[in-house]
């Protein structure tokens, strides 16, 4: 199923170990104006796996997720302090090109937001602006590979020029995943990707995440603890802007150390 020349396989060969740490965060604080939204978050996120961020509404998990690809930069009153490194490179370094960062760190949003263009154009846009394809044939190949990776190819291969907004919700979200994958990122951030989808579409997307984790570092924010348990290998629990506890998913759900984690998991709040 894997194309031998695809960029992620090359990366696998380069980095070697499948469990190397991909993203490290040290003492990350986020302020929205005066409001202190995230307090001293420190966490290591491994490559080639899924890490889930769970926690009640408004606890800061989406905020932290958006720090990793610097989407918080688009909010003028938002201020981020601390240190986040991907593969040892500080992503808040002033000399770093944010646009390139966002090509390396893809994002899938809560509500599917395909461009109001054709399905082909949706997937081809990223590779085109980053100059990843030398010819139309290469671009076609990238589009096909990405749509196959997103388990959408068979459903849309005959109507690539139809508008992306004409697909069903689940298909649109898979299109967004294909779009994110097309630029060959190393990390994929998913902000509650299934919350707007029905159970069957959710199952399909979770299957997809399972496949993708073999080649990408995936960080998923989810409201559903069952989903976190199904999909992730490591979990981090956030509460009121503090990273309360993080560890292997099975440990967090069966044997949490912090009382707050225990309360959340057993449904006392959230």
Residue from 130, 141, 223, 230 binding other proteins (CB under 8 A): 130
Shortest separation between residue 110's beta carbon and other proteins, angstroms: 9
Shortest separation between residue 54's beta carbon and other proteins, angstroms: 22
Q: Indicate the Cα dihedral angle 254, 257, 260, 264, nearest 10°.
A: -10
Continuous segment of H or E residues that includes residue 67:
helix 61-68
* Residues 73-92 contacting other proteins, CB under 8 A: 74, 76
Residue closer to other proteins by CB (options 114, 256) is 114
* Residues 146-175 contacting other proteins, CB under 8 A: 165
* Residues 96-125 contacting other proteins, CB under 8 A: 99-100, 102-103, 106-109, 111, 113-116, 125
Q: Say whether residue 197 binds other proteins (CB under 8 A).
A: no
Shortest separation between residue 8's beta carbon and other proteins, angstroms: 16
Residue closer to other proteins by CB (options 108, 225) is 108
Q: Say whether residue 129 binds other proteins (CB under 8 A).
A: yes
Q: Say whether residue 31 binds other proteins (CB under 8 A).
A: no
Q: How far is CA 131 from CA 128, 139, 253, in A?
A: 5, 10, 44
User: Which of 43-51, 70-78, 139-147, 212-220 is the region at the interface with other proteins (rule: CB under 8 A)?
Assistant: 70-78
- Is-contact 222 237, C-beta < 8 A? no
Shortest separation between residue 242's beta carbon and other proteins, angstroms: 26
Query: Sheet containing 187-191: which strands, arranged edge to edge?
Result: 89-90, 78-86, 21-32, 35-46, 242-248, 234-239, 49-54, 217-221, 187-191, 105-108
Helical segments of 151-197, H only: 153-156, 169-182
Shortest separation between residue 155's beta carbon and other proteins, angstroms: 21
Shortest separation between residue 251's beta carbon and other proteins, angstroms: 32
- Is-contact 25 82, C-beta < 8 A? yes
Of 256, 264, 259, nearest to 225 (Cα)? 264
Residue closer to other proteins by CB (options 71, 80) is 71
Q: How far is CA 208 from CA 27, 93, 186, 241, in A?
A: 32, 33, 16, 30
Shortest separation between residue 98's beta carbon and other proteins, angstroms: 8
Task: Tell me how far apart the alpha carbons of residues 142 and 179 are, in angstroms, rounded to a whole number.
Answer: 10
Task: Tell me how far apart the alpha carbons of residues 112 and 101 are, in angstroms, rounded to a whole number.
Answer: 22
The site for other proteins (CB under 8 A) is made up of: 69, 71, 74, 76, 99-100, 102-103, 106-109, 111, 113-116, 125-126, 129-130, 165, 176, 179-180, 183
């Amino acid at each position: 199923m894997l194309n031998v020349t695809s960029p992620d396989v090359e990366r696998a060969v380069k980095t070697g170990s499948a469990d190397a740490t991909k993203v490290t965060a040290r003492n990350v604080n986020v302020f929205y104006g005066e409001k202190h939204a995230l307090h001293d978050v420190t966490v290591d996120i491994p490559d080639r796996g899924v890490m889930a961020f769970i926690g009640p509404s408004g606890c800061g998990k989406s905020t932290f997720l958006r720090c990793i690809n610097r989407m918080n930069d688009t909010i003028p009153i938002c201020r981020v302090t601390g240190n986040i490194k991907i593969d040892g490179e500080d992503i808040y370094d002033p000399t770093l090109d944010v646009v390139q960062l966002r090509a390396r760190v893809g994002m899938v949003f809560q509500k599917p937001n395909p461009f109001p263009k054709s399905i082909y154009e949706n997937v081809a846009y990223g590779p085109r602006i980053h100059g990843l394809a030398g010819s139309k044939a290469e671009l076609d190949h990238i589009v096909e590979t990405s749509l196959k990776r997103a388990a959408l190819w068979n459903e849309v291969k005959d109507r690539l020029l139809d508008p992306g907004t004409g697909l069903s919700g689940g298909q649109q979200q898979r299109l967004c995943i294909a779009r994110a994958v097309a630029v060959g990122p190393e990390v994929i951030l998913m902000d509650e990707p299934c919350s707007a989808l029905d159970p069957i579409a959710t199952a399909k997307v979770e299957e997809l995440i399972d496949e993708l984790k073999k080649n990408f570092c995936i960080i998923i924010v989810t409201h559903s603890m069952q989903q976190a348990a199904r999909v992730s290998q490591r979990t981090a629990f956030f509460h009121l802007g503090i990273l309360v506890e993080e560890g292997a998913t099975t440990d967090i759900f069966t044997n949490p150390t912090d009382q707050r984690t225990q309360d959340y998991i057993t449904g006392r709040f959230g």
